[in-house]
Structures are given as C-alpha cells and as structure tokens.
Amino acid sequence: MKSLTQYIIEAFADAKGGDEFYTTEKDITKELKNYSFKGMAVYCNCDDPAFSKFWKYFYENFKQLGLKHLIATYYDNDPIRHDYNGKTVKKTPIKSGDFRDNENIIDECDIVVTNPPFSNDLPNELVRLVVEKHKKNILFLGPLMLAYKKYIFDFIKSGELHIGNNQVTDFDRPSGSERKNRRVFCAWFTNLSVEKPMLKTGIKFDKNNAQYDDSGEYLICSKYKTIPDDYDKPIATSVNFINHLNYDQFEILGNKALKQNGKTRFKQILIKRK
C-alpha cells in the first residue's frame, strides 16, 4: 500500500512547477470571509508577496479586516521578510526563508495563514510548531488526507483543530496554467471556530445489509452519507467525514487500515455517536 506522502505527490504530480500549488484568489476570499482577523498580526509563512494571493488578500483588505500587522516570508536563495503596517511595506533580509527557522516570527504573530508545500511532511510540522509549541492560531490549506498525519490528527480528534467551510480542487501553477485535481480534495485546517450542522442522512440501520470489518467491531460506511442516523456503535468511514464532523454529535476513536473479507482497506476514520 502506498504511503500518504506518495499518494499525495502522485496525485498532484506535474511536469512543471514541482510542489508549487498557488491558491486562487477566489478560493481564498470564499473561505477567509468566514473568520474575523480584527486586531491580529497575520503571518503568511510560505508566501512570496509577488505571487501569493494570501498576501494580496490581506494587503488589499488590511483596513477593512482591522489587521494589526502583516508579515510574509518564503523559501528563497535570498530570503526577505516583508512587513506591512497598513501604510508601508518594509523589506528585511533574513537568514532563512524556511518557516522552521523563523520561530521568532511565529511568536510575533497571532495567526499563521498559508498554503504550505504538501510534501516533505511540512503541514504536519507546521501544526506542531504553530499550534502545539507556540499556541497560536492557524489557517492553512492542504489535502484532506493530511488529517491522518500525527499532529494534525491528534488535534482534530481532540477538537482543537477543525476542517473549514470549503473544499479546493483548483490551483494556479508557476507555469501559468491552472491545475484541476479531482482525485485529492484539499481542505482548510484551522483552530478558529467553525460550526458544523448535525449530520442527518435519513438512513436507518439495516442489519441484514450491514457490512463490518473482519473483527466485527466496526460498521463499514464507505461514504459519510451512508452513516445510519440510529446506529450508536463504532463506525469506520472515509476521511471525508471530518468535513461534516459536529463534535457534539460524534467522537473520533482513531484511524486505522481495517481488513474486510481478508483485504486491507485504505485507512478509515473510526467514529462513534455520542
């Protein structure tokens, strides 16, 4: 079975542009309008202002959003720190554009907002540094399957990290073309408040057609839309379920690659109704 990283890289493989997938202005506006950034110092830590639509969004809407400060850094041979106070942009050379080398800037900000490279475990490391170590707010875009990564999953399980309001499939590429990808949906991950309605599928449990894993412990519901409304025992379902997770309704038990009919299924999210 392919590793998560291999799957993501292959799904987003492109001859031009490598691991660079730039979020479109349309998708940024659609998601970010759901949150308040008033009084915040925002750090876009993987964002070159020359290309980043995140920087553009915060720069152009600085006063309307009530921002306190805007900072951007990015990986480059000659890294520059960009600071904007609502009036002027200050550019300062720094030793490294790698956000892992700029923890002092994480300390300065209130929230990190970005679209990090999907490979090399960087999203997982981003959550470890920003949320676990520095106790800051975060809002970033990444493949939904990143939810299986250790730090990301642990915080989703505890309810300290949520999935945002919209999915993203379209990206701008360095080559100038737009890349549409329907195999791997990208989601917004955040510890800002996100309200999800109770999941109601209208389906009742049918024991005659129910499918279980080989241990008989988990009811297999391949799609979240097939989860019975009246079933209160452990369920195994796809990672897409967390897009619709209401913590007052369900608890996450874990994630595991279960066996069914002797064959190992792709990792499932294990849940139980409260």
In angstroms, rounded to a whole number, what is the distance separating the alpha carbons of residues 23 and 171?
Answer: 5
What was the pLDDT predicted at 2? 47
What was the pLDDT predicted at 182? 45
Domains of the chain with CATH codes: 4-190 (3.40.50), 196-274 (no CATH)
What was the pLDDT predicted at 176? 52
In angstroms, rounded to a whole number, what is the distance separating the alpha carbons of residues 19 and 27?
Answer: 19
Tens digits of residue pLDDT in 263-274: 988 889 999 999
Question: Which residues are CB-neighbours of 257 under 8 A, at least 6 positions away?
Answer: 1, 264, 265, 266, 267, 268
In angstroms, rounded to a whole number, what is the distance separating the alpha carbons of residues 113 and 45?
Answer: 7
Taking 70 as the pLDDT cut, the residues of the chain under it are 1-20, 119-120, 173-184
